[in-house]
Amino acid sequence: MSDLSHQRSADPAAIEMLNLAEKEQYETIWDRLEKQQPQCGYGQLGTCCRLCTMGPCRIDPLGEGPTHGVCGATADTIVARNLARMAAVGASSHSDHGRSAALLLKDVATGRNTDYRITDVEKLQAVATRLGVITEGRSFPEIANDVADIALGCFGKQDETPLPFTEKYLLPKRFQLFEDVEKQLLKATGKKMGILPRGIDREVVDILHRTHFGTDADPLSLMIQAVRCSIADGWGGSLIATELQDILYGTPTINTAKANLGVIDAEWVNIIVHGHEPSLSEKVVEMALSEEMQQAARKIGAKGVNIVGLCCTGNEMLMRQGVDMAGNVLHSELAIMTGAVEAMVVDVQCIYPSLANLSTCFHTKFITTSEQATIPGAIHIQFEDEHANEIAKRIVQTAVDAYPERDQGKVYIPSITSSAIAGFSVEEILRVLGGSVAPLIEVIANGTIKGVVGIVGCNNVKVKQDLYHKELTKHLIEKDILVVGTGCWAIGAAKAGLMNLDAQSMAGDGLKAVCQQ
Ligand code: SF4
Ligand code: SF4
């Protein structure tokens, strides 16, 4: 076993695949990181600015060299502008996801789209009631139409009032706190700075405008706007995505699945869905599991079609459909290297462009589907919600057709999986607790457990894969702190066996007792 592989990942399946990559000379994201060394120190610290063509400008944090950019921006201004722009990119990505869900709900409600349906009417009514939509005596499509309109309004509204979703979902105390902070900022600085978001798109555009070289140079107001934009996402776009997807595809309930590369099965046609938005993958899963497609796979000598998830699309499929999980984002190249993946189907976000090139070493069809995420070298099958069934079928058929091209000599699948229990939506947590959070509050108040921590976040190739996800979680549960999470953390935790009942043995006495109640 190579030391290098052990330095790169804490996941035994990844280590096996990294050894294979080294032997077969498959280039990985870790190799490319190495080739980039040493990375520019200015860029790493954020004291480099490329916002206009008078630059790039660099400020030496050690005080040697220029202290201002060409326009006069200080290091603090430059760092704040860069960070604000990163917040804008993150907010726009996740919020665009919410926009897609709102547009789809609108189309379903008005009958323009018949490939999808309103699955969870209870959730629809709960969301509508929270938003102040009248539900009595009205049909579900009528209610859904109003909910979709309110959601879409959050993106483009132009007045100064807070987003309806933010206003209706934030705890009153928290809402009040944000209002108070706005007042205090005005009092202390004489400048108007907002925390409560007015429009999701507006807060993103505000950052792009504000970070123009000749607009905002005050690190404080730049950072406050970054906070406002982040809230527009967290209490706007991302919240809309969660709520409306539950209405469309069903609110997650507890289910079990397997996680890690061992879910890829050498005897089956393997399809991996990867990315973030479930509208495509819901349909690909449905089609892949259809008798028609299973039969098509059997006809060409496979046992059937095996569909597995990767990254956050994988999380969505795991939570709602119990689909097995191949891994988090750093597994995307490693999964293709198993040589047993007929198709990797992607939507948006966290798709390495390298996957197109790597796929050419195998028979794998790397299929992009979004107009926002096209990648040179990929097969592009344009996904459109209104023709979802037909397109999903074409995608699955493409995978089935690729199976005979598989080179069995290149197949290597680490036989490593862990079992995971997932699907803890807010509604499911409440159901498990007997309808109220009171039992949880009680065990926190009496000190049996010390609190609850939410962990989200991606793999970053600069950090040993899954190491911090695993170690942080172990330390927290050992100290009687309950952990909930999503994103790549959830997959890392699932692979490490931290999301099944055996994990109780690693918990402190208090948390263990609560788990066993
Ligand atoms: S543009 Fe910035 S990050 Fe890139 S090399 Fe120049 S100083 Fe470094
Ligand atoms: S905005 Fe200012 S600091 Fe940034 S590149 Fe232009 S001149 Fe340089």
Give nearest CA residue, ligand 2 atom 5.
55
Comparing CA positions, the residue from 294, 283, 371, 357 lying closest to residue 320 is 283
Q: What is the DSSP string of 473-506?
A: HHHHHHTTEEEEE-HHHHHHHHHTTTTSGGGGGG
| Cα–Cα distance, 146 to 149 (Å, whole number) | 5
Query: What does the H/E/C string look like for 191-223?
Result: CCCCCCCCCHHHHHHHHHHHCCCCCCCCHHHHH
Give nearest CA residue, ligand 2 atom 2.
71
Tokens of 430: 């409440």
pLDDT at 62: 85
Q: Which domains, and CATH codes, for the chain? A: 75-249 (1.20.1270.30), 255-410 (3.40.50.2030), 423-515 (3.40.50.2030)
Listed as ranges, residues in the chain with pLDDT below 50 are none
> SS3 for 362?
coil
Q: What is the DSSP string of 452-479?
A: EEEE-----TTS-BTHHHHHHHHHHHHT
Q: Say if residues 53 and 212 touch (Cβ distance below 8 Å).
A: no
CA of 48 to the centre of ligand 1 (A): 6
The 10 Å Cβ neighbour count of residue 217 is 19
Tokens of 409: 């000599």
Query: What does the H/E/C string look like for 113-170?
Result: CCCCCCCCHHHHHHHHHHHCCCCCCCCHHHHHHHHHHHHHHHHHCCCCCCCHHHHHHC
Per residue in 104-163, pLDDT tens?
Answer: 999 999 999 999 999 999 999 999 999 999 999 999 999 999 999 999 999 999 999 999
| Cα–Cα distance, 327 to 496 (Å, whole number) | 11
Give nearest CA residue, ligand 2 atom 3.
69
| Cα–Cα distance, 259 to 346 (Å, whole number) | 19
Q: Say if residues 383 and 369 touch (Cβ distance below 8 Å).
A: yes
Q: From the CA of 57, give the closest atom in ligand 2.
A: 8
**Residue 283 CB-density burial (10 A; 0-12 exposed, 13-18 middle, 19+ buried):** buried
pLDDT at 64: 87
Comparing CA positions, the residue from 486, 101, 98 lying closest to residue 279 is 101
CA of 354 to the centre of ligand 1 (A): 23
Integer CA distances (angstroms), 464 to 18, 32, 265, in order: 13, 15, 27
CA of 192 to the centre of ligand 2 (A): 25
Tokens of 31: 């190799």
Tokens of 281: 């993958």
Ligand 2 cavity residues, CB under 6 Å: 49-52, 54-57, 69-71, 73, 78, 213
Residue corresponding to tokens 């996800």: 469
Give nearest CA residue, ligand 1 atom 4.
43
48 CB within 6 A, ligand 1: yes
CA of 468 to the centre of ligand 1 (A): 28
> What residue type is assigned to position 188 of the chain?
A
| Cα–Cα distance, 136 to 139 (Å, whole number) | 9
CA of 47 to the centre of ligand 1 (A): 9
Q: From the CA of 41, give the closest atom in ligand 1.
A: 8
Query: What does the H/E/C string look like for 157-175?
Result: CCCCCCCHHHHHHCCHHHH
481-485 and 305-310: which strand pairing?
Answer: unpaired
Mutational test site, ligand 1, from 36, 39, 42, 57, max ligand atoms within 8 Å of CB? 42
pLDDT at 159: 97
Fill in the DSSP letter of residue 329.
G
Fill in the DSSP letter of residue 40.
P
pLDDT at 198: 98
CA of 59 to the centre of ligand 1 (A): 11
Bridge partner list, 346: 274, 368
CA of 42 to the centre of ligand 1 (A): 6
